[in-house]
Structure 1
Amino acid sequence: MRRRVRFDIDIAMPELSLPTVRVHQSFVAAMAEFRAEGRGSADDQSMIGSELRTFTRRWSTPAGFATYVDWVRNQTLEDSPRPDGHVPSTTLWWIQDDTYLGRLAIRHRLTPYLREVAGHIGYDVRPTGRHQGHATAMLAAALPVAYHLDIRSALVTCDVDNVASRKVIERNGGVFADQRNGKLRFWVPTA
């Protein structure tokens, strides 16, 4: 006679989170992965590239990392200091337990540059976390946040040759608008 045994296993699923010091070590390891693939050079104008150049030394200590986390969180505020041309943005991290898997930034409004190239939402998944569905799930989880920021349709872009990112956008309801400056532009409903 066979008996079935049922195991209840509580497995934490990844979730969007405000930046937190809890993932310090994993975050630093993820940034090392990005640097190893060539990110952070002077011509890398992405969020990751800029922050690698600006904050890498600060990330090494708990106090320095806490200061960085506060800085990122404060970027949601209208009056926070930021480089010219940058707008308030809400940055959320995709984490599982104490593991940093990626990040997503929701820009609260579009500038002419953002309208042409970068859009409302930008995201990155750490290299060892790619091809596991994280980007698709992360963007899906962020769309209601964008809606609550009064963004009814989010402009999301990707490089023309980035097939994986295009699929992420399309899986989240992205409607192709056009191609400009080497970028594919999609409008994604947030509700």
Structure 2
Amino acid sequence: MNKSPNSALNEKIISTKPIFSGKIISLQIDTVELPDGSKGEREVIKHPGAIAVLAVRDGRLLLVDQFRTPLGRCELEIPAGKLEKGEDPLEAAKRELQEETGYSAGKISLLHSFYTSPGFADEIIHLYLAEDLKQGESAPDEDEFLEVHEATLQEVKRYIAEGWISDAKTMLAVYIWELASHTGKYGHE
């Protein structure tokens, strides 16, 4: 991602103190030099990055329904997953689409990359558009239990209004899908 042109606001990392290292994330406290020369601390979650897939088949968005422990409930989301170490995001998008939905894409392209919570995490999600879908067999991860759903734009908008979809990456994908339905273009092609 591009750096801000306003270097007067940059903070310099003086030291990093690791706090926790887990399977998916790690937490550290960075001591930084602020723009005015004083010092501050930043709690930072490090994440390997992720992908998400906007997959539309015959005017219907592919969604997965799965239990999300932090929320204590199921959530409807677009197919997504974390990047494995050194994994190409495009290959991860193809893998996750197939694993979670059973579909493969004849064409897949990057729509946009965005940060989920830049105030405390470096997680970046690469959002892909999957087209020319062909059905096959799903193969979710061993600890992943989900159901695949298909929904029209109107149904998905109702799911958002009713709180069945509250996931930011899915809401962003729906917004892009809605724009495309009016303009015929996805993202910033």
Q: Tell me whether the two structures share a fold, i.e. TM-score over 0.5.
A: no
Give the TM-score taking structure 2 as reference length. Answer: 0.23
Normalising by the residue count of structure 1, what TM-score does the alignment of the two structures yield?
A: 0.23
Q: Between Structure 1 and Structure 2, whose CA radius of gyration is higher?
A: 2
Higher relative contact order (CA 8 A, sep 6+): 2
Higher strand share: 2
